[in-house]
Structure 1
Amino acid sequence: MVDWPEAFGTRFTVMVDTEEEFDWRAPLSSANRSVTAIAALPEAHRRFADSGMPLTYLIDHPVATDPAALEILRHLIEDGRSAVGTQLHPWVNPPHEEEVAPHNTFVGNLPATLEAAKLDILTEAIATGVGVRPRIYRAGRYGIGPATLRLLSDRGYLIDSSMRSAYDYSAEAGPDFTAIPNHAFWCGPGNAMIELPLTTVFTGAVRSGGTSLYRTLGHIPRGRGLFARTHLMSRVALTPEDMPVADALEAIAVALGQGVRLLNFAFHSPSLVPGHTPYVRDQADLRRFHLWWDIVLTDLARRNVRPASLDDLIHASSKA
């Protein structure tokens, strides 16, 4: 595990999956390259900046090659605290040599040479378009594979955030992260990179059952829903997307009680405009989205959990 320096304290970070819009109910398509929701980023950025919160924008190929989107992002990172990183959606990222099928939407399932080619094209597009070389990476759909960390290390990436604690995508031919902790840990060749998992905790009276109990409940009709409604067990990721704020506050308390020193929050950029994701369907949902953040950021400040920028993480890890 990363042994953060004492002066680092307990911190949190917010990463934005900055991506194209698409119908979440339909099969993925390489034709989905619209990025109109990026126009909503400046207002959202201001809201976070007013709370002293830098954002890390993990951008994919449609965003990294759109002139208007790039202009917005270049302006946002002028605050000196926010940053741009990489998010690879293989179905919209050239070269397009694979069939767009569920198995191949996890980029780590592709041949390592094709994964490398896609990563090179995206990394260079970001470096050229934004003017800074990305140092943090997330695989779209959390599709990390056996070659991913080596490929990232070879290209100078310092942090990966492709793992989602307590989630299992193996039924879709993706990775199983049920054994991944919420603590940041060293990984990659020579353990020279940091893995920063998305924070997910179990809450409720029987939360100590963890992933084993949660997996068992998945085999019982409506088992997980029943346990959640009766406050016995819920799996709560730190995101405003489909996670009630009361659950998020409990999850924060549980994570801190477990000694997690760095909480990792996330959301998708299209959620900033109603109608692009199932989480924000209308203006009422958008108001709830922003209220979620107001409540959560207030709670974090009350607990003296301070925000961390990408530079803060890299600087602190160099002393760990």
Structure 2
Amino acid sequence: MAVAKPSATALVARYRPPAPAPGDLIDWPDDFGTRFTVLVDTEEEFDWNAPLGRQSHGVSAITALPDAHRRFADRGVALTYMVDYPIATDARAIDILATCLADGVSAIGTQLHPWVNPPFDEALTPANSYAGNLPEATEAAKIDALTGAITAAFGTRPVAYRAGRYGIGPNTLRLLAARGYLLDSSMRSRYRYVDDGGPDFAEISNHAFRAGAMIEVPLTTVYTGRARTGGTRLYRLLAAVPKGRGLFARAGLLSRVALTPEDMPVKDALEAIAVAVGEGLRLLNFAFHSPSVAPGFTPYVRDAADLARFHGWWDAVLADLARRGVRAASLDQIITAAGRG
């Protein structure tokens, strides 16, 4: 089944989370220092250029995960694997992830891809690929099905959540808190997904904050360049100028850099880290998709050369973080330091 094309009315965000109040920003303890975390969107592989479908996916890329995991473990970096339903219900994937968890510091979290996560009560449309757009009862049922599958697979109930496609909605955090979740990372700072009905994170900065009973840790996105103080407002104005964003980026005026090796050059990432640390950000949140650890499963890693660049990106970034004294933080350490342990 293919997803229908978005309608002309889909350009208005279904959900725009408000900026946190100053008092809700997490005041990290002094001994926490400046840290970073890596969340892995641990998911099925599919054709990124095709419409989303219920059945059109596989899980073979997971076999490359242990080698990638060792590269992080050898540097003392704990990973949090945000697992979705096809992974949580595949025996081989479960066994492979269990070997990764044997390091004693990595963790399993939850990632909801509603189009492959039962119950399938909703139409398969672009807007419904954002779980937060679904009716509250449907979103809750999908969260329950996935939480149950992960608990059964790994013997522990997950406490960290990410909505696939960053598809958080007005009910999501309340539903998660009611089910014992402690931390969410569904917000992608300074991005918007309104073209097909997704959320708009214009008001969300990089700082972790409390949202009701939940800890929110947005994916870190940094503006770099001489005009970076123009921030989100300038970046969005440039969208109306033909090739405006590209021109500003090439001139070293303004670039938007998310902390991910996927489509983000290492030079830009290193500059973004320097800006983030210089501006006093205490927790940097990195991410990548698990199928990117093998060639041919994502548009970011198409062949062996791309995979070498992927690993080289991490080599350079982890070395830079170590040089700056920015240490890795496990999921447990983050929750404890945020006062929720």
| AA aligned opposite 2:156 | V
Partner of 1:50: 74
The answer as to whether partners of 1:88 and 1:138 remain within 8 angstroms in 2 is yes
The answer as to 2:297 corresponding to 1:261 is: no
Amino acid at match of 1:79: D
Q: Contact 1:33 / 1:92 at 8 angstroms: preserved in 2?
A: no
**CA displacement at 1:319 relative to structure 2:** 7.1
Aligned pair in 2 of structure 1 residues 319, 194: CA closer, same or farther (>3 Å)? Answer: closer
Q: For residue 306 of structure 1, what is the aligned residue in structure 2? A: 327
Q: Does residue 134 of structure 2 align to residue 110 of structure 1?
A: yes
- Aligned-partner Cα distance in 1 for 2:97–2:218: 24
Unaligned runs of 5+ in 2: 1-24
1:157 correspondence with 2:157? no
Name the TM-score, length of structure 2 as normaliser: 0.92
Secondary structure of the equivalent of 2:102? Answer: helix
2:151 to 127, 143, 149: 127
Superposed CA RMSD in Å reads: 1.0
8 Å CA contact 1:17, 1:59 repeated in 2: yes
Amino acid in the other structure paired with 1:153: A
Q: Show CA shifts across 1:167-188 (max 9, x none).
A: 011222111001101010000x
Q: Which residue identity is paired with 1:91? A: W
Write the letter of the residue equivalent to 2:260. Answer: T
Which of 240, 243, 250 is the equivalent residue of 1:219? 240
Contact 2:182–2:340 under 8 Å retained in 1: no
8 Å contact from structure 1 (residues 5, 319) kept in 2: no
For 2:48 and 2:193, locate their aligned partners in 1 and report how far apart those are by CA, in whole Å: 16
1:171 paired to 2:203: no
| Equivalent residue in structure 2 for 1:9, among 11, 22, 33 | 33
* Residue of structure 1 in register with 2:12 after alignment: none
Identity in percent? 67
Q: 1:181 aligns with which of 205, 210, 214?
A: 205
Match of 1:296 among 304, 308, 317: 317
Residue by residue over 1:96-153, the C-alpha shift from the partner in whole angstroms, topping out at 9 and shown as x without a partner, is 1111110100000000000000000000000000111101000000000010001000
Does the alignment pair 1:93 with 2:113? no
Whole-angstrom distance in 1 between the partners of 2:339 and 2:206: 20
For structure 1, the 5+ residue unaligned runs are: none
Corresponding residue SS for 1:79: coil
Q: Is the 8 A contact 1:274 1:286 kept in 2?
A: yes
Measured after TM superposition, the shift of residue 32 of structure 1 is 2.7
How does 1:143-154 map onto structure 2 within 5 Å? 143-154=167-178
User: Does the 8 Å CA contact 2:132/2:170 hold for their aligned counterparts?
Assistant: yes
Deviation per CA, 1:69-95: give whole Å up to 9, x if none: 001111211211000000000000000
Greater shift, 50-59 or 73-82, is seen at: 73-82
1:209 to 230, 236, 258: 230
Contact 2:295 2:303 in 1 (8 A): yes
CA distance in 1, matches of 2:154, 2:268: 37
Would you say the 8 A contact 1:165–1:180 is kept in 2?
yes
Q: Distance in 1 between matches of 2:63 and 2:122?
A: 31
Structure 1 CA distance for aligned equivalents of residues 202 and 297 of structure 2: 29
* Residue 53 (structure 1) shift: 0.4
- After superposing on structure 2, the runs of 4+ consecutive aligned residues of structure 1 that deviate more than 2 Å are none
What is the alpha-carbon distance in structure 2 between the residues aligned to residue 171 and residue 254 of structure 1?
A: 29
Contact 2:191–2:202 (Cα < 8 Å) also in 1: yes
Once the two structures are TM-superposed, the CA of residue 33 in structure 1 deviates from its matched residue by 3.6
Query: Quick one: distance in 2 between partners of 1:65 and 1:41?
Result: 17
